[in-house]
Amino acid sequence: MILTLDVGNTNTCIGGFDENDQLIFESRIDTDRYRMADQYAITISDILRLYGHEPKEITGAIISSVVPPVTGQLKEAVSKLCGCKALTVGPGLKTGLDIKIDEPASLGADMAAVAVAAKEHYPLPAIVIDLGTATKVLAVTKTGAFIGGIIAPGVKISIEALANRTASLPLISISNDPPMKNVIGTNTIDCMRSGLLYGTAFMVDGMIENFEKELGEKCTVIATGGFSSVIKPLCKHDFILDRTLIMTGLLDIYKKNVKQ
């Protein structure tokens, strides 16, 4: 089994792929930069057993992380638990991407992983929309070059900003609410939900249109991230939902760097 770990600002996603490259389990835990390696090892062990697996089944691991303090703890945890060295996505690791941005070494590990997955598994050119803590839209050309994208505050950040920076607006939860039927809200909560959800959906639609204009052709559009299933019904553009895109990309990168 190959263990894939994606460390985001809010959650850490843990996945396991079998010898047939099938994702056999996926779990999420809070990203805690103060958690020690032994604590992460115990958590990963518990998750494996929850899904009917043992640490001894893990033969390799790869980590993408946007939270540097957690990266080292996870690498140590994997080493203690499984006896193998976890690869870390970053400079020096082969991705197969032709990275054409101003500072290639600055490309985020999560952005690299989803771009690799788009290149390897979908028709190009492709636009990847990652609706997580931050909202990211990325462009991969028909020749497989990563040429850049946009980064904006995500839905969660916007919710927290409204609650923390205003005197009377509450902190709301929207992930499990029914879809919005109208843009015009008739109470405070619905006004906030509409602004956050439709605002993100309209931005996504606008980004798709402008990305395709700059690329000069129609693109395959893939969406991933925790809010992707909430935002998709509100968009006028149709696109593919791939909840495990980053996990797939991490496996792809692992295979490019380890002899099978």
The answer to pTM > 0.85 is: yes
Residues 148, 99: Cα–Cα separation, whole Å: 8
- Cβ-Cβ contacts under 8 Å for 152 (sequence gap 6 or more): 134, 135, 136, 203
E strand or H helix at 30: strand 23-30
> Which residues form the catalytic set?
110
**Residue pLDDT tens, the chain, 260 long:** 999 999 988 899 999 999 999 999 999 999 999 999 999 999 999 999 999 999 999 999 999 999 999 999 999 999 999 999 999 998 889 999 999 999 998 899 999 999 999 999 999 999 999 998 899 999 999 999 999 999 999 998 999 999 999 988 999 887 666 677 889 999 999 999 999 999 999 999 999 999 999 999 999 999 999 899 999 999 999 999 999 999 999 999 999 999 76
User: Percent of the chain at pLDDT above 90?
Assistant: 85
Identify the pLDDT of residue 22: 95
Identify the pLDDT of residue 177: 66
167-203 pLDDT, tens digit per residue, is 889 998 876 666 778 899 999 999 999 999 999 999 9
Q: What domains can you pick out in the chain, each with its CATH number?
A: 2-88 (3.30.420.40), 98-248 (3.30.420.40)
Identify the pLDDT of residue 228: 92
Identify the pLDDT of residue 9: 87
113-125 pLDDT, tens digit per residue, is 999 999 999 999 9
Q: Where are the beta strands (DSSP E) in 58-161?
A: 60-65, 86-88, 98-99, 126-131, 134-140, 145-153
User: How far apart, in Å, are the Cα atoms of 238 and each of 8, 201, 251?
Assistant: 26, 12, 27
